[in-house]
Structure 1
Amino acid sequence: MSATATASAGRRPSPAAAVLRTEARLLYLREPSIALSVLLLPTVLLVILGLIPGFREADAGLGGRRVIDLYVPVAVLLALTMAGMQAMPPILTGYRERGILRRMSTTPVRPSAMLVSQLVLLGGGALFSALLAVAVGRIAFGVALPGRPGGYLLALVLAAASAISLGLLISAVARHEKAAQALGAVTLFPSMFTAGVWLPVQTMPHLLRTIVEYTPLGAASQTLDQAARGAFPGLVHLGVTALWTIALTAAAARWFRWQ
């Protein structure tokens, strides 16, 4: 009897694992809007653009590439943007506003477990969405796979880190859930522009492109594009993305409150 109880206790999941499992159900099963925006919206946008005949034709002004080739990295960045700036801030701020994080501090489950679970679930969902966009681009429209897979993966991880860190900063400064939604929306649209959603960074006028390349997602767009073309991402653009990630994370840590 004692041995059976001991074995059962040994199989009991840790509190952090229980939080992760619960948050996964809440996030992707009970909030279909999050699942659609993070997991599917970037690929749906890519498919819609790919159905435009002119976007599938080689353009001499783009070095023989097609517009759809440029939009695969854009779809990747859109997935990261939706996860970091649209999904994360209202969730974390809502938990703080309702006192959930404060109450968790009195239980064996620390509030940090909730934060880690959101990072894992939203970061993992964004990376899945990014890979889905790359796969659909290749299968449906013949977009070449990244010529430098290692460089592409490095650029993707840094881009994800910068988007998530911006989402954490929004969660830190927003006092309540509605404010987080408003700040997320205000931040989302400029971020989508610098990511190249409306106009690929590579086709922007020189001065505008130079400015955009010093933003987190503008620099990330360049690193992904360089790796996709077979070159290792430039150290300047990697450095810009990394520095933004460090600065945003430091600011989020400075102002984040559990209650």
Structure 2
Amino acid sequence: MKAFTALTTIELRLLLRDPASVFFMMAFPMMLLVLKRGDSGAVPGYIAMISAVGGLGALPGIVAGYRERKVLKRLGTTPISPVLLLGAQLVAQVAAALIGSALLVVAAIAAFGARPPTNLPLLAVAILLCSVMVCALGFVIAAVVRNTRGASLIGMLVEFPMLFLAGAAVPREALPDSLRAIGGFLPLTPGVDVLTAAWTGAAALFPMMILAGIIVAGTAVAAALFRWE
């Protein structure tokens, strides 16, 4: 447990020292919030964006880099299992998403007078589920694409269309019917739905079940395809 805690702390520090991750997970959503003049209806989507930036924009390249530099292989010869490092990366990504989301929610309420979330405990659970879900997809990408650049590129190619089609950056209601129909099949869409439900007090069981299913399926696929070297 001490080794895992130490690894998680290191991974979180490295993540928070990365200018791109800090900007897109913390500063960029704040900028969008300013442009939206604190519109509380946009906050759930921006929270989903924060999770996606970590799980899809950063995680695949980080994990692929560890494998490319033989870090995972070398850990296999030590008492610290490579699984611990991957678990620490997951926890670090979730923690960063929670930090960024908390800052965004506080800013929306304190600085812009946005309506507070109706169900704060459910919002915390929704952030956790959404973040783990995109991390599961990130691990799949890292399992399939073996080099750092390729994994980072594919992660961003998956991330950015989802941000716009799943309702994270732009409300799905503003999209043409054809694009809205496509967005309905994207994994990030139930994430936005459950975050919105937690904020407004609507029912959230169905999108939570979908997120749980994606997490299970993504984890299974990543585990089946992942190679340490």
Aligned sequence identity (%)? 33
- Partner residue of 1:254? 224
1:206, CA displacement in angstroms?
Answer: 5.5
CA contact (8 A) 2:90 2:132 kept: no
Runs of 5+ consecutive residues of structure 1 not aligned to the other structure: 1-12, 51-55, 57-67
Following the alignment from structure 1 to structure 2, what is the Cα–Cα distance between the partners of residues 205 and 251?
33
Contact 1:162 1:245 in 2 (8 A): yes
CA separation of 1:18/1:239 partners in 2, compared to 1, >3 Å: closer, same or farther?
closer
Which stretch has the larger CA shift, 32-41 or 182-191? 32-41
Normalised by the size of structure 1, how large is the TM-score? 0.80
Q: Is the 8 A contact 2:49 2:169 kept in 1?
A: no
Pairing partner for 1:130 from 96, 101, 109: 101
Contact 1:159–1:216 (Cα < 8 Å) also in 2: no
Do the aligned partners of 1:201 and 1:221 also contact (CA within 8 Å) in 2?
no
Aligned to 2:120: 149
Query: Do 2:94 and 2:131's aligned partners in 1 also have CA atoms closer than 8 Å?
Result: yes
Q: Provide structure 2 residue ranges, at least 5 long, that are not aligned to the other structure.
A: none
What secondary structure, in the 3-state scheme, does the structure 2 residue paired with 1:141 have? coil
Indicate how the Cα distance of structure 1 residues 16 and 162 shifts in structure 2: closer, same or farther if over 3 A, else same.
closer
SS at match of 2:21: helix
Partner of residue 210 from structure 2, selected from 240, 255, 258: 240
Query: What is the match of residue 17 of structure 1?
Result: 5
**How many residues are treated as equivalent by the alignment?**
229
- The answer as to 2:92 corresponding to 1:104 is no
1:93–1:174 contact (8 Å) kept in structure 2: yes
The alpha-carbon deviation at position 207 of structure 1 amounts to 6.0
Task: Determine if contact 1:173/1:256 at 8 Å carries over to the other structure.
Answer: yes
* Distance of aligned partners of 1:232 and 1:149 in 2 relative to their CA distance in 1, 3 Å threshold: farther
CA distance in 2, matches of 1:223, 1:136: 21
1:36 matched to 2:7? The reply is no
Runs of 4+ in 1 over 4 A off after TM superposition: 205-208
Q: TM-score, normalised by structure 2?
A: 0.90
The reply to whether residue 213 of structure 1 matches residue 184 of structure 2 is: yes
Q: Which has the higher contact order (CA 8 A, sep 6+)?
A: 2
CA distance in 1, matches of 2:214, 2:225: 17
- Aligned AA for 1:244? I
Alignment partners' CA distance in 2, 1:77 and 1:217: 7
- Per-residue deviation at 1:185? 1.5
Structure 2 distance, partners of 1:202, 1:242, is: 25
**Relative to structure 1, is the Cα distance of residues 154 and 210 closer, same or farther in structure 2, using a 3 angstrom cutoff?**
farther
Change (3 A) 1:141 1:179: same
